[in-house]
Chain A
Amino acid sequence: MIATPEVLIVGGGPAGLAAARETVGAGCDTVVLDDALEPGGQLVKQTHKFFGSEMEYAGVRGIKIPEILLREVSDSPKLKILLRTTASGYYEDGVVTAIFQDKKVLKFKPKKLIIATGAQEKTILFPNNDMPGVYGAGAVQTLMNVYGVAPGTRGLMIGAGNIGLIVSYQLRQAGIAVAAVVEALDRIGGYWVHASKIARLKIPILTRHTIIEALGEENVTGAIIAQIDDNWLPIPGTEREIECDFICLAVGLSPLSDLFRLAECEMVFVPEFGGDVPLRDTNMETSTKGIYVAGDVGGIEEASSAIIEGALAGISTAFSLGKNIPDYERRNRELRDELVSLRSGPVGEHIRSGIAKCRISAKTEVG
């Protein structure tokens, strides 16, 4: 049997949930698929107070946000959230397949599809990077903050972006030592306030350094790091051994955009966004009519913007289904303005440059 909801949302992170809040609020039959055990995406492991816009719940801890997003619509009979359900395919007749709780295959033919699948972590090459004890930062965060399991006793963090800095802080909060944060750039990539927090804990941030190899026989017992030169090559003689029993990679994310490719949406490689992303118009609709994008899968950014993009995709979808949305034009404009404002500062420069590369031209937009 093929289910035919008005709206199918793949991904129940902040973008997907914000979209659902809007489509359900506007009266659309909506199904949300998420492969995790609970809705929230990245938020379920983020115990820190969130950065960003007060209007999008900054200052609140990430783990609390999914509940807040769903509050208005959680009792609605129009909303169905299927957990442990992975969207696995898109077929040319517009059918989306999904594996439901490892048990059966579900089929959906929605009128509109919103893809908000988020991103996956990148890795880097070094000898022994496949040894037990080498983790992605997301795995470390999930182990600690969702399952209460310590990944080790003393870690080495690779990457001083926001994720590397925040996870280092959270490790220390869990009573786990962090030997150092190693960063190839000549500066901290994340926000300085996050760096200040770990500086106060005496965790050294080693800029212009890289990991050379992980040490150990069966699991990590240490690491060799070294300084690098302007060409990012290790400077001989600067190698040193760091004692640690796990290594945590926080070297960037890459959009999980495969479903768009299956749906033959026009894609573009945007280095600023960590990989291939679909072209989209200002309403978040892709080059394939009726398929929308929202959140990190359209470009690695932040929860605040994921929530706004989700809301924008949600109201645009509902509007295109002919639902009555009071003040649609004004709300649409407000959401877009909020995005522009979030991205307008110096740290938003790469986002602005990325967005410019994946806009569908004005011509296509009219049609």
Chain B
Amino acid sequence: MASQIERTGVPTKEQIESTLPGDERRAKGPYAVIECWQEIPCDPCVASCPFGYIAPMKNINDLPKLDQESCTGCGNCIALCPGLAIFIIDETFGGEDEAMIRIPHEFAPLPEKEDIVRALDREGNYVADAEVVRVQKGKSGCTVLHLLIPKKFILDIRAVEPLPMR
């Protein structure tokens, strides 16, 4: 019997929780989470980390190994992962009940800074409104959106509903 992710592309709660670092690290500032669960021949993330915190792969099919303790949360990896599977979470950003998440976004038109957008979960369901803190356009053509979200949804929000085309 095929597993949930094999059937739907949506990981289980256990898989998702396993991407988080320890509490101490979470309290220190932004960190990357990598939602890559399948051994496929793919390695651009390794070279994307300017600090070398994504370990070189022995075999190109290996799953990425990120040193989350050392990760600076720079977010360079987000736009370079072809799978759009890397996100930055910053639980120290904003007020007590808020957090920042940075996600890849490849839809035109782009939202603008300070826009309120509809934040979605991994199944495309609406979770909450989010404020766009920054729109970061990279040279790979993949935009990174910095979103202010309710802290309780850091494990849920992974996308933004594309805006209607003009």
Contact = CB atoms under 8 A, between A and B. Distances in A.
B60 A341 contact: yes
Contact of B37 (A186, A192, A342, A347): A192
Contacts of B43: 53-54, 58
B149 interface: no
Contact of A348 (B38, B61, B164): B61
A107 interface: no
B85 A53 contact: no
A341 B59 contact: yes
B79 to A, nearest CB: 8
Contacts of A345: 39-41, 59-61
Given A191-B38, A199-B10, A207-B7, A175 B83 contact: no
Given A54-B47, A58-B44, A191-B83, A175 B165 contact: yes
B80 A201 contact: no
A53 B47 CA distance: 11
B60 A347 contact: no
A58 B47 CA distance: 11
Interface stretch (B90-98, B117-125, B129-137): B117-125
Contacts of B42: 51-53, 58
Given A52-B42, A175-B165, A345-B59, A201 B159 contact: yes
Contacts of B81: 49, 59
Interface string A200-231: 11110101000000000000000000000000
A196 interface: yes
Given A59-B44, A347-B61, A348-B61, A199 B82 contact: no
Contacts of A50: 82
Interface in B49-81: 59-61, 80-81
A187 B47 contact: no
Query: Helix, strand, loop or mixed for chain B's interface?
Result: loop
Contacts of B125: 202
A346 B121 CA distance: 29
B121 to A, nearest CB: 8
A25 B115 CA distance: 52
A61 B9 contact: no
B82 A200 contact: no
Contacts of B11: 196
A193 B36 contact: yes
Nearest to B37: A192
A361 interface: no
B111 interface: no
A92 B4 CA distance: 55
Interface in A238-263: none
Contacts of A200: 120-124, 158-159
A49 B82 contact: yes
Interface string A39-80: 000000000111111100011110000000000000000000
A344 interface: yes
Contact of B82 (A58, A187, A342, A347): A58
A344 B58 CA distance: 11
Given A59-B82, A345-B40, A347-B40, A199 B122 contact: yes
A173 B61 CA distance: 28
B44 A54 contact: yes
A197 B162 contact: no
B136 to A, nearest CB: 16
Contacts of B10: 196, 199
Given A54-B47, A192-B6, A347 B39 contact: yes
Nearest to A304: B41
Contact of B60 (A53, A198, A201): A53
Contacts of A346: 39, 61
A194 B165 CA distance: 23
Given A345-B59, A347-B61, A348-B41, 14 more contacts: A49-B81, A54-B47, A58-B43, A59-B44, A59-B47, A187-B2, A188-B8, A194-B9, A197-B84, A199-B123, A304-B41, A342-B41, A342-B61, A346-B39
Interface of A: 48-54, 58-61, 172-173, 175, 186-188, 191-203, 205, 207, 302, 304, 341-348
Question: Which 5 A/B pairs are nearest by Cβ-Cβ distance?
Answer: A195-B9, A345-B61, A202-B124, A193-B83, A59-B44
